[in-house]
Amino acid sequence: MHRTAPRLARIFVSAAVPVVLVAGCSSDSDKDSKDSASPSKSATPSPTPTVAAAKYSKLPAVCPTLSAKTIDELVPKAQSKKGKELPSSDANQSASCLWTGLNGFKYRQLSVSLKLFRSEVSLGSGDKRAQAYAADQAQKAATSDGAKNAKTGQVSGIGDAATTVSTESKKDGDEFRNQTIVVRTANVVLTLEYNGAGYEDEKTPDPKALLKDAQTGAKEVVASIEKDAEKSGASSAGSGSSSSAA
């Protein structure tokens, strides 16, 4: 009996050890299960790209941007006071109108071209796109075929920014004076070209007088763009896009 008691004690002790180990394993397993069941933190979503909305969503009818009175002053004896609209694949994006007139031996030619730029995420805001295009147009006017003695300048009070380009050229022996005004008003670019010549014994037109008349025309066109937008509700509020839709 004395020998049996210690032996039984050892058996009970050894039998208890696995129970402790199993309990420990069970506890760790429960912990892992709880950890795996807890929701993982979701990654912060990237912000959706945006771009400033464009002010204008469409162009006005291009020829009516200049009044008959202004055409009488800038292009006397014009073939048509209403002008001739030049072909365009999309008149709501780009449009041009041309007037020509010969008063005795005084020749005048005037053209108005409008181009609209929409805001697109992949390309940038309409204003910035228009700004780049305006700079390109001014450069082209200064380096166009046959142009010489180019002089450029900046004019205030016409749109958001206006550049003047004065050049001289010669066609069929006649001296021409050319004035180009490139104006950006928000996301629309106006390129106004005004040329004059004196045939036969008529004097070559004064460049300063041509430039003054060109500026008068440019101001009127910009005002027409604004008025048309106000009338049709095609300015600022809601126009343009913060997406890439054109």
pLDDT at position 234 is 59
In the predicted structure, residue 72 carries a pLDDT above the cut 60:
yes
Instruction: Indicate the pLDDT class of residue 146, thresholds 50, 70 and 90.
Output: confident
Q: Are 155 and 166 in contact (CB under 8 A)?
A: no
What sections of 38-110 are H helices per DSSP?
68-74
Q: Which residues lie below 8 Å from residue 89, measured CB to CB, with a gap of 6+? A: none
Instruction: Indicate the pLDDT class of residue 23, thresholds 50, 70 and 90.
Output: very low
Structural domains of the chain ordered from first start: 63-232 (3.40.1000)
Structure confidence by residue, pLDDT tens digits, 180-212: 999 999 999 999 999 999 999 999 999 999 999
Query: In percent, how much of the chain has pLDDT > 90?
Result: 68
Structure confidence by residue, pLDDT tens digits, 38-68: 555 556 666 777 889 999 999 999 999 999 9
In the predicted structure, residue 115 carries a pLDDT above the cut 50:
yes
pLDDT at position 20 is 39
Q: At 243, list the tokens.
A: 């997406």
pLDDT at position 4 is 45
Rg (CA), the chain: 38
In the predicted structure, residue 168 carries a pLDDT above the cut 90:
yes
Q: How far is CA 92 from CA 38, 47, 163, 196, in A?
A: 57, 32, 24, 30
Q: Which residues lie below 8 Å from residue 146, measured CB to CB, with a gap of 6+? A: 169, 170, 171
Closest alpha carbon to 188 in 152, 134, 123, 120: 134
In whole angstroms, give the CA distance from residue 86 to residue 100. 13
Query: In percent, how much of the chain has pLDDT > 70?
Result: 76
In whole angstroms, give the CA distance from residue 190 to residue 228. 15
